[in-house]
Amino acid sequence: MVQLCSVETAASEGARNEGQPNAITSGEIAIGKDTLLEFREIQVIATVHNTRKKLIKNIRRHRRQSSDIIFNFSVFSRPYRSRHGYNPVFFLKRLKVSYQFQYPFSVIFTLMRTVFFLITCLLGVTTLHAQTNLETGGRVAPLSDKGIRLIGAASFVAFEFEGTDCQLTLASVDDYPHHNYVSLELDGTYLGRIRIESGSPAAYPVAVTKSGRHRLVVYKATEAQNGFVDFLGTTAKIVSPGKAKKRKRIEFIGDSITCGMGNDESALPCGSGEWYDQHNAYWSYAPIAARALHADFLLSSVSGMGMYRNWNTENSESEIMPEVYGKLALRESDARPFDAAFQPDVVTICLGTNDLSAGDGKKPRTPFDAKQFTDNYIAFIKMLQQRYPKAQIVLLSSPMLNGERHATLMAALDTIQAAFPAGTLRRFTFEPMEPKGCGYHPSKEDDQKMAAELTPFLKKLLDEK
């Protein structure tokens, strides 16, 4: 009589090639002395339900040929689209099982079915719930089956759920393979930043220690230049959030300062990894201020960009903010328009640092063109006024500029403000600082200081609205 004796699994070391799914389990499962299940490489997609059907079919097909039946199978974790949403499924090649027909087929299949469910439990294969009752913010795009593509810095997806089970299925997507980051906030508490690897969608567990009702927000920590993060589902039991309260809205337009570049060394210190490995838009001054004001917010920011030229390039060499602002992904190569569904009460603009930059110090740099800067800035404001007719527009200084460059920017903003009727534009000046983040950018503490300065000013404007 064949009996279930033991189950053994080992972590996989392979399947890391680009474009190939990554194995989550490999090894052996021993069932009695005559039965062996071997994990092999992924090839064919099948749902759990269909897998069971295929297993029956194969057993019946081989039953007449030999008393020994051999199949191969592999188990990998990857979402598969169905009419119910994204579901983790088995990617199967073949199922290998050796045993003797000492009992009727029904007995053998019952044993196989038990083993199959045992394997799914061991591997933690779960079903993603339908993508309903999701809240989104920032520059995002819907995907089929209600998935969400996070595009801009600090764009987010949020949902409320019950219980402690919460696993996210996420993917880093771009024209070339590379990682991204998201930051998690549970019940108003920051949990940390998670690295989303390139390649196939993968599961990322969220530590939830208390039962009851919760709210999770998944923020994109990187920016639009770094590609996208696709939210493809969760195992959490999502519940309706109820009627949302109307909140004030703020849009923050800017460059790397607004993106939160260089402010998070929790994973890698400055100067190591990729240029965006210290990005964390969650801790940018802009989201910090918005959270303090209980306001909805949107970031339209790109590192290195300026109003008429960029950090190390002229406009003839690369696109500038006025050229990409109307594109959803903040890049000319992406034709999707950025709609005006989000109508802010206040719009802040923090640009000019890169226009006034000396670049990398190696490439020749023409002198700052104040007229070109102010002309572009004025035209940009007029576009925003048409787009957001009820919004109050605020011109921000740059905390990273001091001395002569700070004075040059302040004079340019004076000229821009004078081009509009009195009271049309507001101004706010940050205290100059010596930033302590990576690449002469604000650190998390610097961002918190900036937010503490800006928040009372924005509160006054919002109260006026």
Q: Is the pLDDT of residue 389 over 90?
A: yes
Residue-wise pLDDT for 55-96, tens only, equals 333 333 333 333 333 333 333 333 333 333 333 333 333 333
* 150, amino acid identity: L
Q: Is the pLDDT of residue 39 over 80?
A: no
Percent of the chain with pLDDT over 70: 72
Instruction: Check residue 265 and give its pLDDT.
Output: 97
Instruction: Check residue 322 and give its pLDDT.
Output: 97
Q: Is the pLDDT of residue 51 over 90?
A: no
Instruction: Check residue 300 and give its pLDDT.
Output: 98
Angstrom distances, CA of residue 212 to CA of 31, 135, 177, 185, 448: 40, 20, 38, 16, 31
CB 358 within 8 A of CB 345: no
Instruction: Check residue 131 and give its pLDDT.
Output: 60
Considering only 111-115, 293-297, 344-348, 443-447, which range has the smallest mean pLDDT? 111-115
Angstrom distances, CA of residue 56 to CA of 31, 41, 171, 176: 18, 21, 34, 41
Q: Based on the number of CB atoms within 10 Å of its own CB, is 97 exposed (0-12), middle (13-18) or buried (19 or more)?
A: buried
Considering only 52-61, 121-130, 219-228, 425-434, which range has the smallest mean pLDDT? 52-61
Mean pLDDT of the region 246-251:
96
Instruction: Check residue 335 and give its pLDDT.
Output: 87
Residue-wise pLDDT for 146-165, tens only, equals 899 999 999 999 999 999 99
* 71, amino acid identity: F
Instruction: Check residue 97 and give its pLDDT.
Output: 36
What gap in Å lies between CA 328 and CA 332, rounded to an integer?
10
Instruction: Check residue 144 and give its pLDDT.
Output: 84
What gap in Å lies between CA 429 and CA 204, rounded to an integer?
41
Instruction: Check residue 288 and give its pLDDT.
Output: 98
Instruction: Check residue 333 and give its pLDDT.
Output: 87
Q: How far is CA 381 from the centre of its chain?
A: 29
Considering only 190-194, 331-335, 457-461, which range has the smallest mean pLDDT? 331-335
Q: How far is CA 6 from the centre of its chain?
A: 41
Residue-wise pLDDT for 161-170, tens only, equals 999 999 999 9
How does the average pLDDT of the chain come out, rounded?
79
| Count of helices and strands (H, E) across the chain | 8, 21
Of residues 186 and 127, the one with the higher pLDDT is 186
